[in-house]
Amino acid sequence: MSTEQELKKANPLYKEFQNLLDEDFKDRKLKENEIIKATVTEITKNFIVVDCKAKMEGMIPVEEFKNDNELTKLKIGSSIDVYLERIESFKGEIVISRDKARKMKAWKKMEKVFETQEELTGYITGKVKGGFIANVEGLPCFMPSSQIDVRPLKKIDHLMNTPIKVIATRIDKNRGNVCVSRRAVLEKSKNAEITEALKNIKEGDIIEDAVVKTTTDWGIFLDINGIDALLHVSDLSHGRVKKPSDLVTIGQKLKVKIAKIDPKTNRVSASVKALTEDPYSNIEKKYKVGNIYEGTVTKIMDYGCFVRIEEGIEGLIHNSELDWTNRNIKPSKVLSTSQKIKFKIVNIEKETKRISLSYKATLENPWNKIQEKVGKEVKIKINNITDKAIFAELVESGLSGMLHYKEISYDENIEDLKKFKKNDLINVKIIEIKDNKIRFSKRALDKDPLDWFKDNKKKVGDIITTRIHEVLKTGVKVTIDKDKKLIFTIRKADMAKDSADARPEVFSSGNALDAKITELDLKSRKVKLSVKAAQIDEEKSLIAKFGEGATKSGATLKGIFEKALGNKKKKKEDK
């Protein structure tokens, strides 16, 4: 302790002053982190000096008084709220803040008005990502870009640092964040005006001078005596409307009918088509299903064409009803916009206002004409070749059909497909038309080798003489005609009655074999031959001829056969 301080304490007046000061501070209840009242004692260039009834005066930077032009109103003796951070710092000074007092006061007020949705005054001070910073009652708040006005604004310079009315829309106490909205105030005011204005109109009213404010692809916004109303594109006309902007201009006056007023949202819907009679109300009297009429193509889509039958009535021609030959044809290849065409009414759905039309029904149906060509020779153009068939179109009509590989030749060889290529022109015969599907046959143009059986009057049970064409391990292939076009396989099991004689290796190419026709189906092209069956028939024939005498004499079957064969040989020699 210095000598000077020791002298002060020894002075009786110092002790008396210290006692009076301590006594005075007993009555002053100052608590840190609270808002207290302070009196301005001095205003300097950089600081505002205030008396907080503490041991010493507090000093607040002038910058904390610049908001709300408070500094211009401030004078010595003015009472202000300050936030007491510390009664005494390490320097022995009191630490206070006007700015924090304002913020704390504003936060408490914000919590109250958030519940009541009371309007507050704020100032937009800066821009941040996604919105703006608004100073409300000294509290920095966030205002999203969507909440600055009822409509998107390109510029907000006129709103910067000017008083605006806002409403708190969200408060996060833990983070100390507040979201405010100017738009909510504007809508609230607008809704009050609209509510008042709506008292003068009702649903069903006809408005003569609704003004077009703006147009969109889906409708028109109107001004009806200060009320915004929507005229939806579907309420413009009983027919289809491509673009509302094609029908009206901004500022144009329209005659409309109030279609609906929503009391909850105050939204008004208007209608033009409600002023005229619905053309679909008596459509069944004007147009009949199955009759042919004339109309104009209005729109071409990927799935079909729309045709205007009359003003307000349109029908759809689906892709499948445009062309007889191609069900999935591109509509733009058949019809064009504004083209006048004839059409047939296929179906009318009055409730859903849908009318199905057919364009191809007014054209000649090639399927009716092609029925006359069944069994006749035609020329086709190959469009595609698959693994098992050729797909081609008739040169004459363009109708498509199929040529299966089995119908190329009577050999039924799949390798025949390789003989053809795309765009080849070939002659074929139409053998069948069923469910608009055509079957072609190329081999039908040639004589069927199986006709040999018809020509020679051969049937099941007849025995024919064949020639061995090829010896196989499982049997032999034989031919029955001179041109060797009819080749059939006789299985090993059908080559002889006795298994010992049924060995393929005992036969040679060119050998003659008598075989019995055991199966003959010319339609399904099935032919089965059997040498064994022929031998059994011959045995039965010999037994029937010599069996009675052979039984009495006790002769063997072998002897009978040898004798019979010998008699046949002798007769031939005698001849």
- Is the confidence at residue 46, as pLDDT, over 80? yes
> What average pLDDT does range 541-549 have in this prediction?
68
Instruction: Check residue 358 and give its pLDDT.
Output: 94
Predicted confidence (pLDDT) per residue in 216-227, tens digit? 888 889 888 878
Does the model's pTM come out above 0.75? no
Same domain, 381 and 340: no
Tell whether the model's pLDDT for residue 71 goes beyond 80. Answer: no
Domain membership of residue 109 (yes or no) is no
Res. 63 pLDDT band, cuts 50 70 90: confident
> Which is more confidently placed, 295 or 86?
295
Let me know if residue 194 belongs to a domain: no
pLDDT number for residue 293:
94
pLDDT grade for 16, boundaries at 50, 70 and 90: low
pLDDT on residue 551: 39
Long-range CB contacts (within 8 A, 24+) of 195-200: 195/266, 197/225, 197/226, 197/227, 198/227, 198/261, 198/266, 198/268, 200/225
- Confidence band for 121, pLDDT divided at 50, 70 and 90: confident
| Same domain? 522 vs 508 | yes
Tell me phi and psi for residue 570, to 5 degrees. Answer: -65, -40
For residues 434 and 398, is the Cβ–Cβ distance under 8 A?
Answer: no
- Long-range contacts, 423-428 (Cβ 8 Å, 24+): 423/381, 423/382, 424/381, 424/382, 425/379, 425/380, 425/381, 425/382, 425/395, 426/379, 426/380, 426/382, 426/392, 427/377, 427/378, 427/379, 427/380, 428/377, 428/378, 428/379, 428/380, 428/403
Mean per-residue pLDDT of the chain: 82
What total of structural domains would you count in the chain? 6
- Asked whether residue 570 is assigned to any structural domain, the reply reads yes
CATH code for the domain in which residue 556 is found: 2.40.50.140
Residue 142 lies in a domain: yes
Per residue in 356-370, pLDDT (tens digit) is 999 999 988 888 888
Same domain? For 489 and 574 the reply is yes
**pLDDT confidence band for 262 (50 / 70 / 90):** confident
Confidence of residue 567 (pLDDT cuts 50, 70, 90): low
More confident residue, 393 or 176: 393
Closest CA to 34 of 90, 97, 77: 97
* 227 and 249 co-located in one domain: yes
Phi and psi at residue 300, in whole multiples of 5°?
-115, 120
The C-alpha atoms of residue 337 and residue 509 are separated, in whole angstroms, by 75
The band of 158, judged by pLDDT with boundaries at 50, 70 and 90, is: confident
Arithmetic mean of pLDDT, 438-447: 89
Same domain membership, residue 457 and residue 411: no
Pair type for strands 437-441 and 400-404: parallel
pLDDT at residue number 339:
94
Residues 260 and 348 in one domain: no
Confidence at 553, pLDDT banded by 50, 70, 90: very low
Quick one: 438 and 464 in the same domain?
A: no
Residue 563 forms beta bridges with which residues?
none
pLDDT for res 448 = 79
Q: Please, which pLDDT band fits residue 392 given cuts at 50, 70 and 90?
A: very high
Q: Please list, residue by residue across 85-108, b when 16 or more beta carbons sit within 10 angstroms of its beta carbon and e when fewer do.
A: eebeeeeebbebbbbbbbbbbbbe
| Residue 423 belongs to a domain | yes
3-state secondary structure of 88: coil
One domain for residues 490 and 402: no
SS3 content of the chain, % helix, strand, coil (to 5): 30, 35, 35
| Domain stop point among 246, 275, 304 | 275
Is the model more confident about 301 or about 60? 301
Q: What does the pLDDT read at residue 26?
A: 52
Answer with the residue of higher pLDDT: 411 or 385: 385
| Mean pLDDT in residue range 101-122 | 82
Residue 111 maps to a domain: no
For residue 144, the enclosing domain spans: 117-188
Question: If pLDDT is split at 50, 70 and 90, which confidence band does 575 have?
Answer: very low
pLDDT of residue 330: 92
Domain limit, last residue, from 188, 217, 247: 188
Residues 154 and 238 in one domain: no
Where a domain ends, among 238, 259, 275? 275
Q: CA 394, CA 469: separation in Å to the nearest integer?
A: 41
Share of the chain above pLDDT 70, in %: 88
Residues 530, 480 share a domain: yes
108 lies in some domain: no
Same domain? 353 vs 388: no
Bigger pLDDT: 23 vs 112:
112
Kindly write down the DSSP assignment for every residue of 485-516, as one continuous string. --EEEEEGGGS-SSGGG--GGG--TT-EEEEE
Q: What is the pLDDT of residue 353?
A: 85
Q: What is the pLDDT of residue 116?
A: 83
pLDDT given for residue 8 in this prediction: 53
Same domain, 59 and 83: yes
Average pLDDT over residues 61-86: 79
**196, part of any domain:** no
Using one digit for the tens of pLDDT, what is the confidence trace for 282-316? Answer: 888 889 999 999 999 998 999 999 999 988 889 99
pLDDT tens digit sequence for 488-510: 888 888 888 887 777 888 888 88
